[in-house]
Each structure stands twice: as C-alpha cells, then as structure tokens.
Amino acid sequence: MADDWRGRPGPIAVLTGAGISTDSGIPDFRGPRGLWTRNPIAELASTYQNYVADPQLRVRAWQARRDNPAWKAEPNAGHRALVDLERSGRAVRILTQNIDRLHHRAGSSGRKVLELHGNMLEVVCVSCDARAPMRETFDRVAAGEPDPACVECGGILKSAVVMFGEPLDEQVIGEAAVYAQKCDIFLAVGTSLRVHPAAGLCELAVGSGADLVIVNNEPTPYDELATEVIREPISEALPRIVAELIAAV
C-alpha cells in the first residue's frame, strides 16, 4: 500500500534541494534557465581550485554573489509546510542542500536544519577559517576592494558555501547520516539526487527500514527505491503531504 507510510509515527527526515526554492524565484543550477547555464563563469568560480588560483575570477565571483537573486527571495508554501510539521510536535530534521537560509526564515528552528552545503550569509577565510558576515564584505567590495582579503591574516575570503573540490563538514554529514538511519520516513524534496553524499542519505535511510518518498519534477536515480514518487509542484504537494502526515498519526 503506497499510503501506508503516512501512518508511520517515527522521526521524519526531509532532504531538500534547489527545487523547493525555485517557487521563491531562486533559479536552479543546471536547468534551462539555471544559474550556471546562463553564467558559465559562476560554475567555474564554484570550483575551489579555480577560485583560489585566479584573482580575476574572484573579482567576478564577488559581483555574482552580490547579484544573486536569493538575496531578494522570500520563503514559499513549501518551506512553511515544514514549519507546520515541526510545530505539530513530530520529530523532524531538515537536511538541506540549499544555501539560501529560507528554511530558517520561514520559521524552522535552527537546530532542526542541517545545511549540508553551508550558507551564503557568511564569508570564511581559506587560510585561517575566520568568519565574517557576507553583508560586511559586500560593503568592502562597494567601498573599492574588488577581492577583499581576510582582516585577520590577509588570506583569501570565500563565501561559507561548500565549493566543488572542497570537503563537506564532517560533523554535519555525520549528524545527517545518523538521522537518516533512525527516521521512519525519508522525504526527498526538489532534489535530483545526483550529488553525493546527500543522495547517499536516501540509500542509508532505505537500508535502515525507512520509507523513501520522492517529490520532484524530474526522474531521479532513486525512484525505484521509493515507496512513492510524487510529481507535482512542490509548493502545492508539500502542504498537502504535511497535512496528511499530521492527520494520520
């Protein structure tokens, strides 16, 4: 029975990807109107080795960060549905591949959200790990520093987003893996499930007895493992799923 999973009472892990934020006006990366399709420089600058090696690329990267549509984005009904799920008293963790902070801004508790790929609100020094707010660094760019250096050590600054060629935060991934293994329901929302280790969390969850439910427009490599695959707009599907989950237990 495909709908049996709704009645399982245990913890719920929700893996979210770019698809949950497209209804907030944030383009995905590789789609026809995606960020990298329209601006190949942004993809080049997303690889750590290129970024560190090329000052001109960093200058363009700071401009691109400032122009990122995510700064003007607001959470949508999909983000808000997950807040409702948390407030219903269910044990829930959001494992997000997004860097836009829209789960926090919608009202999800910070301790319930694991940011697998970091966040865009801070900058970090590649040499000494010092952090500073992105807004302050934008002010330095506007004031005439096209590639601002770390104020602590003079090192190269980057956004606190995990780049290609950079390791993920082991503690965050570890926590996500523990949760994937103990959840009853693993909901994968708006993610193509092609990026590891985030995608591998699905396998871990299913291997530990969870029902995998996929909400995504396009097929994913994990559709066959899923108890149910839902192809509807996320900001419509997620509020309904959350209402069903709350009603079922």
Q: Which residues are catalytic, by number?
A: 117
Tell me if 151 contacts Zn ion by CB under 5 A. Answer: no
Tell me if 127 contacts Zn ion by CB under 5 A. Answer: yes
Q: Give the range of 14-22, 59-67, 107-115, 142-150 binding Zn ion by CB under 5 A.
A: 142-150
d(CA 200, CA 188): 11
CB 198 within 8 A of CB 116: yes
Which element (helix H / strand E) includes 55?
helix 55-66
Residues that contact Zn ion, how many (by CB under 5 A):
8
Nearer to Zn ion, 85 or 156 (CB): 156
Tell me if 52 contacts Zn ion by CB under 5 A. Answer: no
Residue 94: Cβ-neighbour burial (10 angstroms; 0-12, 13-18, 19+): buried
Q: Which residue among 44, 77, 130, 195 contacts Zn ion (CB under 5 A)?
A: 130
The DSSP code for 90 is -
Q: Which residue among 153, 178, 247, 249 contacts Zn ion (CB under 5 A)?
A: 153
Residue of 192, 183, 167, 225 whose CA lies nearest to 16: 192
For the CB of residue 163, give the shortest distance to Zn ion in the complex, in Å: 17
Tell me if 132 contacts Zn ion by CB under 5 A. Answer: no
The DSSP code for 163 is P
The residue ranges that bind Zn ion (CB under 5 A) are: 125, 127-128, 130, 150, 152-153, 155
